[in-house]
Structure 1
Amino acid sequence: MPLSSAGANGLGPVAPPLRRCRPCGDNGARFDPEPRLNPVPSATLPTAAALRLGHAGLLPFVLGAALVWLVRPDAHPYVTAALSAYAAVIVSFLGGIHWGFAMRQADAPGSLAGWGVVPSLVAWVAVVMPPYAGLIVLGAMLVACYLVDRRVYPAQGAAAWLTLRFRLTAVASLSCFIGAAGS
């Protein structure tokens, strides 16, 4: 909540009054309307929307891997570039999740943000490689991200997401390997 521009006497800014804590009942407790960093809450199971979006995100992987084998030779470079670019974006996204974990905590270990950068850098290198090699690197990086996440997610209250992550990783990495084999 912003500070008011002038106090009751018109001399300067005044902080808003603290409000009663509704979730705790009217027991006299008060809370700051501008929350501080909170401890990591426990995550719930992925929502139906998250499941649908996660599975929809596999379409470019599966379609790209299939098209590598089906398109005319003159279209082949475009398909492999598209599959590589999409895989690189997803690998970068997986690293970004660790930045999100780190940002939620005042005392987050540096390894969270540090690992968060690694997938993006590896994906960037993989995109400029020839597709037969770059797609292997991206598929391996998807697996590496999952293996790291198996260790990190439980400590961050996100263990319930690992089943979905496993399924998505299996299809996405396999698609990269199939695409690499066809390039």
Structure 2
Amino acid sequence: MMLGISERRLSWSLGLAGLIPFITGGVLAWSAPLGWQATAINGFVYYSAVILSFLGGAHWGSALHVLQPSSRWRLLLAMLPSLIAWPALLLNVGAGLWVLLAGFILMGGYDFSRAGRDGFPSWYPVLRGFLTVVVVLLHVVVLVRLNG
């Protein structure tokens, strides 16, 4: 099933809207009153874990939609983001952010691989690439704040 132009716009709109908590957390980590900065950073970390897990779910659905011999391997790979995100929440905030950052970079690489593109529209890697770059940069912004 091919998504039409309205579905593409909706996907982009929802993807961009999904950046709002990352951007808000990154800005508040630097600009909020000191007591709120910790809350903003914690919120950023928790949201990051949720979104990383969501990316695995997208690949899970795609693997089930496009059944082929590699689907079993893809289903296993689709579980990795959740298995990275959950333990990241158990670490101290700085270490957790590094783990989540690595998870987004790994998923970004997979999104651009041939197997990672299977089952997605041709414009999807551009969307994922843009969102991944912004999310990775915002992780760096928050990490700099923690170490600054």
TM-score tier (shorter): 0.7 to 0.9
Instruction: Identify which of 106, 118, 124 aligns with 2:86.
Output: 124
Q: Distance between the aligned counterparts of 2:60 and 2:112, measured in 1?
A: 16
Higher helix proportion:
2
Q: State whether structure 2 residue 145 is matched by structure 1 residue 145.
A: no
Q: Distance between the aligned counterparts of 1:75 and 1:157, measured in 2?
A: 39
Instruction: Identify which of 3, 9, 21 aligns with 1:60.
Output: 21
Which protein is bigger by CA-based radius of gyration?
1
Aligned length: 143
The equivalent residue for 1:114 is 76
Q: How does 1:87-102 map to 2 (within 5 A)?
A: 87-102=48-63
Output the TM-score relative to the length of structure 2. Answer: 0.86
Q: How does 1:4-43 map to 2 (within 5 A)?
A: 41=1
The equivalent residue for 1:76 is 37
Q: Distance between the aligned counterparts of 1:44 and 1:140, measured in 2?
A: 33
Alpha-carbon contact 1:133-1:180 (below 8 Å) kept: no
Runs of 4+ in 1 over 4 A off after TM superposition: 41-46
Unaligned runs of 5+ in 1: 1-40
The equivalent residue for 1:48 is 9
Per-residue Cα deviation, 1:137-179 (whole angstroms, up to 9, x for no partner): 2122112101101112433243320111111111111111111
| Alpha-carbon offset, residue 64 of structure 1 | 0.4
The equivalent residue for 2:97 is 135
Output the TM-score relative to the length of structure 1. Answer: 0.71
| Alpha-carbon offset, residue 66 of structure 1 | 1.1
Report sequence identity in percent. Answer: 29
Unaligned runs of 5+ in 2: none
Mark the CA change 1:124 to 1:174 in structure 2 (over 3 Å): closer, same or farther: same
Q: Distance between the aligned counterparts of 1:88 and 1:154, measured in 2?
A: 22
Alpha-carbon contact 2:88-2:99 (below 8 Å) kept: yes
The equivalent residue for 1:164 is 127
Per-residue Cα deviation, 1:109-159 (whole angstroms, up to 9, x for no partner): 211110111101111111222222211221221121011011124332433
Q: State whether structure 2 residue 143 is matched by structure 1 residue 180.
A: yes
One-letter identity of the residue aligned with 1:160: W
Mark the CA change 1:44 to 1:114 in structure 2 (over 3 Å): closer, same or farther: farther
Per-residue Cα deviation, 1:93-122 (whole angstroms, up to 9, x for no partner): 111111101222444521111011110111
